[in-house]
């Protein structure tokens, strides 16, 4: 039995997405910038994608910029936003638990002379909103914060954060990395007070290499891709018609019957946590409560969690060893952000939330989709139950003498 529990890394494309993309590549393959009928047909797919995505977000179609994925969207928002608004100031704010596609652009801008404030988080991964309020200055031009943490699943209080940003400095831009949030929470960025929002297609059962950045009308962003003036000069390059259409189709499917899907997925998550905590030497990281963007930020006793990500630390076992042991049983998980898997390092998120040192290299991410079944959960837990005692016999902290761990 194959059990895929790495959906936060990427998802399997919906059959309807594959079918639509195949049709476009085989039949409606024109360049959307061409003036002949083939080009017109291709342009229709782009327009339809704009209609679908704008409808989901409750925004204007002209405010969407199609990109090659979440990384490009985040880079365009942060670097493009900072460069376009640097006359108003050079102070930027983000958190200590951001994805590399946010914190590395921030570090790049630091090297260019910008100043970055890195906000702390609590043990659940919730950003310190008091620190945010204190950090905003007259020269603060951009705040960037993720919607859902990609490693521990915590939903950040972006509604409250947006209110604070606009209260303290109405001219400060507020960017949200919604790459793990889109398709798992209801997002209406204009109503919240967001200025820019990043989305990736392959996290929602769409194709890899697709994404978009929503930019509120009249927000200034300097383009990073130059050459053909496509998308009103904001992102040059021939549009990826099958990819854009496939991403929009996936989003449409994802948000159909959404509340029932969420109810199911939160049930799967709760069941998984209940079963995993029966195993010896396990610690679940992050919040437990069902998620919402509108939960009062002052509730610090727990944190809202997205329905699809669970971070678990395993005593006396290296994450990489467990990952490959599970792989041998056809159970697929991740030891952290897959985007950084080729560059192993201790997770900045785990350090930021205060995970004990002995667990920093012993944490595995399990991530689900709306298609994950209870039977798959049972198989995963059964394999863990079999593997954990065996693996602990061969680790220094897990060796036993006289039947007791020393």
- Angstrom distance (rounded) from CA 4 to CA 186: 25
- Angstrom distance (rounded) from CA 214 to CA 225: 16
CB burial string 56-86: b at 16+ within 10 A, e below: bbebeeebbbbbbbbbbbbbbbbbbbbbbbb
Q: Angle at which helices 258-276 and 374-392 pack, to 10 degrees?
A: 30
- Angstrom distance (rounded) from CA 54 to CA 248: 10
- Angstrom distance (rounded) from CA 402 to CA 309: 38
Cβ(200)–Cβ(244) below 8 Å: no
Beta-carbon contacts of 72 under 8 Å, excluding residues fewer than 6 positions away, are: 211, 213, 224
Q: Please tell me what DSSP assigns to residue 202.
A: G
**Is 354 exposed, middle or buried (CB count within 10 Å of its CB: 0-12, 13-18, 19+)?**
exposed
CB burial string 390-400: b at 16+ within 10 A, e below: ebbeeeeebee
The residue annotated as part of the active site, out of 147, 168, 304, 339, is 339
Q: Is 380 considered catalytic here? A: no
* Contacts by 30-33, CB closer than 8 A, 24 or more apart: 31/238, 32/238, 32/239, 32/241, 33/228, 33/230, 33/238
Cβ(150)–Cβ(309) below 8 Å: yes
- Angstrom distance (rounded) from CA 37 to CA 193: 40
- Angstrom distance (rounded) from CA 51 to CA 57: 10
CA 47 to chain centre: 26
Catalytic residues: 339
């Amino acid at each position: 039995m194959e059990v895929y529990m790495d959906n936060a890394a990427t998802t399997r494309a919906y059959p309807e997405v594959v079918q639509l993309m195949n049709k476009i590549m085989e039949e409606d393959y024109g360049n959307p910038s061409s003036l002949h009928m083939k080009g017109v047909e291709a342009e229709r797919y782009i327009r339809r994608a704009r209609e679908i995505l704008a409808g989901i977000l409750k925004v204007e179609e002209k405010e969407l910029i199609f990109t090659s994925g979440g990384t490009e969207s985040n880079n365009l928002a942060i670097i493009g936003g900072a460069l376009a608004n640097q006359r108003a100031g050079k102070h930027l704010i983000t958190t200590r638990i951001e994805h590399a596609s946010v914190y590395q652009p921030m570090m790049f801008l630091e090297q260019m002379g910008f100043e970055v404030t890195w906000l702390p988080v609590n043990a659940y991964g919730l950003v310190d909103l008091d620190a945010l309020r204190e950090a905003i200055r007259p020269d603060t031009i951009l705040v960037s914060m993720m919607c859902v943490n990609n490693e521990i699943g915590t939903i950040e209080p972006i509604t409250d954060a947006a209110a604070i940003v606009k209260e303290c400095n109405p001219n400060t831009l507020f960017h949200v990395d919604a790459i793990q949030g889109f398709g798992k929470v209801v997002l209406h960025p204009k109503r919240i007070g967001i200025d820019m929002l990043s989305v990736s297609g392959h996290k929602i059962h769409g194709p890899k290499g697709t994404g978009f950045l929503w930019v509120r009308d009249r927000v200034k962003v300097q383009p990073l891709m130059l050459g053909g003036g496509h998308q009103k000069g904001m992102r040059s390059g021939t549009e990826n018609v099958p990819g854009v259409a496939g991403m929009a189709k996936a989003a449409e499917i994802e948000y159909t019957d959404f509340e029932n899907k969420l109810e199911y997925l939160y049930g799967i998550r709760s069941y998984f946590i209940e079963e995993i905590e029966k195993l010896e030497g396990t610690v679940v990281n992050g919040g437990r409560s069902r998620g919402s963007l509108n939960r009062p930020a002052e509730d610090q006793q727990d944190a809202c969690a997205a329905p699809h990500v669970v971070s678990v630390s395993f005593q006396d076992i290296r994450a990489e060893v467990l990952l490959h042991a599970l792989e041998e049983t056809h159970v697929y998980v991740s030891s952290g952000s897959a985007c950084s898997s080729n560059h192993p390092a201790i997770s900045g998120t785990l350090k930021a939330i205060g995970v004990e040192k002995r667990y920093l290299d012993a944490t595995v991410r399990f991530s689900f989709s709306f298609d994950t079944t209870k039977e798959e959960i049972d198989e995963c837990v059964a394999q863990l139950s079999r593997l954990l005692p065996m693996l602990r016999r061969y680790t220094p902290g897990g060796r036993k003498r006289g039947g007791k761990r020393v």
